[in-house]
Copies of this chain bind each other. A is one copy, B any other.
């Protein structure tokens, strides 16, 4: 029955604490094979006046946003072709790599690339995995199934895809995409 005590400055909200509770539980179980029901996480949040580092009070930093939600919002905006909204979610130095492309830097490049390929595409999601890297980026994976229409109006469906995102300071800085579109086209 591993027990995790997390001591942080007061100020995180219940949703943020829930995310901490889940991430810490999973971190323990990454190594310790305890039954899920036997992992306890206790968050001790200290008011600023009760916490001193280097003799000084500190101000709690606002929580990082949920990177999975950022990815979901971005994918929804892209699917709805809300390019301004999607563009606002990209960070400095953003690159995206799709099957067969070099790293692209703008959404316009992507649209240009996709134009000859299909009329539209939508995504059905099988799952998301998210973690924080050893650096400052969160990593989000999402995978699922593509469906849509080619330019000859023929539909396609059931095409597996996976996306990998890096999120830093709440902005997407990298997107890598793999899918079976060419495989499927080849075999069609």
Query: Which positions in A face B, CB cutoff 8 Å?
Result: 1-9, 12, 14, 16-46, 49-55, 57-58, 61-64, 67, 97, 99-100, 129-136, 138-139, 141, 143, 160-162, 164, 176, 178-187
Contacts and interface: CB of A to CB of B under 8 A. Distances in A.
Given A42-B46, A50-B43, A30 B164 contact: no
Copies of this polypeptide in the complex:
6
Nearest to A186: B182
A7 to B, nearest CB: 4
Given A3-B7, A99-B183, A129-B139, 19 more contacts: A2-B6, A2-B8, A3-B6, A4-B7, A18-B52, A18-B57, A20-B32, A21-B52, A22-B134, A23-B26, A24-B52, A26-B27, A26-B55, A40-B51, A43-B49, A55-B134, A161-B178, A178-B180, A182-B185
B52 A14 contact: no
A17 B130 CA distance: 22
Contacts of A129: 131, 133, 139, 141
A27 B23 contact: yes
A180 B180 contact: no
